[in-house]
Chain A
């Protein structure tokens, strides 16, 4: 038997060698199969939609730019509309649109603008990050995507001008940079309010020339207690004062604020040495001292976190209760706030850590209870003031 099978194997091997064309065919077939990719899902815009919003200050920060699948952008924006928010804040990274000094590629921006417009949603665009060509003089070990040298302010201004002109009528609010009061966001340099003022100056006139209706929004300041001289950043309140002293008031039309509640209720009193939701009032005080009272505020990031492992988180029930109370607080007490945008609708992929517990929707599009609670508030569907039952009594 063994001899027979050995002979058979030998014959097979000889057959394979003689019929090499079969091997070639097999290889070609395998190569062709490996080229087969799933067909991209076809996305149709559908009829134009409108947001049914009875609370116009409800807004949400999205994370759409890094979505690979277009249908996920559309689905996210549908959920924003169904929640009753008529505005989103979204990052539009400069390197995506201008990969080299003389090349523009607007495709990834266009699809967000197209779907937002179709869903009846306004977009506040946060412009930032720096392409490599605009920071090429910096040693690569030190350079970060947030490093914008003074020499490149003019190039950034040209990009903002091109952006403002291209999306005029669709995107009329442009936030310049993100959290310039912390060193990480300022390219790991000492924060510099005068430098940021020069950046605002570099974009302001050009953006208005391209789109007379554009609203240039400054700041998006990070809530932080860092004292003057700290290598990590500077208190948002102190930074805003420095900004005004540097003459920035002429170069922005509205201020963006990031204000998080952390472990405190939204009603908690603000103080210079405390981070909480009403810290926004301290910033408003500075504005009222240095600026015209009509200049509005956009809260472009806010919210609470309910991760069980994060020291600055609250319970899930508190997160919802605090978020709704914060919306009510802004509605009743802050006439200067135009929009209050919750961080964040959804992430493209889970982080598997505490940031996931800032979202309203899971990565696989499961709406969390907080989404439904905000929806009920934003669309005027609230049936009761009580979110939960009283504790059972023995």
Chain B
């Protein structure tokens, strides 16, 4: 019985040692990351080689033999923020990650969805766009989430992920009427023309459509799902990730990221 306080103290001691090991490991990792190295030292070629698949407007595409789009402007802005020249390497979507692994490029900016299966080899930065599904509704009849749809009319593109999401919600809540269309633009037309209460479409389609009707239609947009786009860097080069992520964070905070997105979407 007399040994019990000592036993408790021993358990506490073991816990403290374990905690100490965890904290020390974290500190060592942070100290490695925070070694002051300039971007020029981190990118050995004297430039940032950016892998991009220029077949996905408005993120990246070829116009008059020139690469243009959100990913191109974002790459240039990151280069400026780091004081480094950038060079875009255009390739097929399937080759992007292989080229990063094979050291043909330093980073990938190509509307890449964060892929959990690749995180053994790749570090993703913070997101720069969310291409998830959004509800588009009229200002006098705002529908903010799928749970509010009962008794309303929902328009969407037939066969798309919006269609799947609508079917899922039809099993969950009181019925709502569905209006499938061939294209997402037609679904938004239906809302604008009062033939449906909300359209469920991806955020890219929604923003592209609303650019056209920005002056005449005060549509309300609310996110329903997430599809996060991020920049990919090599996992074995955490310092590159750190500086690129920091540059992206700066662009986000000072509004330059929004300016780029608004230029194209």
A, B: real partners: yes
- Given the contacts A13-B13, A15-B9, A391-B181, A316 and B160 also touching, CB distance less than 8 Å: yes
Question: Which of B19-27, B40-48, B72-80, B186-194 has 4 or more CB atoms under 8 Å from chain A?
Answer: B186-194
Query: Can you spell out 16 A-B residue pairs with CB atoms less than 8 angstroms apart?
Result: A16-B10, A22-B7, A22-B10, A308-B56, A309-B111, A317-B182, A352-B115, A354-B94, A372-B167, A387-B158, A388-B158, A388-B181, A391-B181, A391-B182, A391-B186, A391-B189
Q: How far is A142 from B159 in the complex, measured between Cα atoms in Å?
A: 43
B93 near A309: Cβ-Cβ < 8 Å: yes
- Given the contacts A308-B56, A310-B93, A388-B181, A366 and B164 also touching, CB distance less than 8 Å: yes
Q: How far is A388 from B117 in the complex, measured between Cα atoms in Å?
A: 36
Q: How far is A19 from B3 in the complex, measured between Cα atoms in Å?
A: 10
A369 near B56: Cβ-Cβ < 8 Å: no
Number of B residues contacting the other chain (C-beta, 8 Å)?
A: 37
User: Inside 8 A of B111's CB, which chain A residues have their CB?
Assistant: 309
B158 near A12: Cβ-Cβ < 8 Å: no
Q: Give B25 Cβ to nearest chain A Cβ, in Å.
A: 20
Q: How far is A234 from B162 in the complex, measured between Cα atoms in Å?
A: 40
A368 near B56: Cβ-Cβ < 8 Å: no
- Given the contacts A12-B13, A370-B159, A392 and B55 also touching, CB distance less than 8 Å: no
- Given the contacts A350-B117, A392-B189, A15 and B167 also touching, CB distance less than 8 Å: no
User: Inside 8 A of A57's CB, which chain B residues have their CB?
Assistant: none
Q: How far is A311 from B210 in the complex, measured between Cα atoms in Å?
A: 26
B163 near A369: Cβ-Cβ < 8 Å: yes
Number of A residues contacting the other chain (C-beta, 8 Å)?
A: 36
- Given the contacts A15-B6, A392-B186, A316 and B157 also touching, CB distance less than 8 Å: yes
* Interface: B235 (CB within 8 A): no
Q: How far is A352 from B232 in the complex, measured between Cα atoms in Å?
A: 15
* Interface: A394 (CB within 8 A): yes
- Given the contacts A311-B55, A391-B186, A392-B186, A320 and B6 also touching, CB distance less than 8 Å: no
User: Inside 8 A of B243's CB, which chain A residues have their CB?
Assistant: none
Q: How far is A19 from B56 in the complex, measured between Cα atoms in Å?
A: 66
* Interface: A315 (CB within 8 A): yes
User: Inside 8 A of B159's CB, which chain A residues have their CB?
Assistant: 306, 315-317, 319-320, 368-370, 373, 387
Closest to A307 in B: B93
* Interface: A39 (CB within 8 A): no
Neighbour of A15 across the interface among B7, B157, B182, B186, CB < 8 A: B7
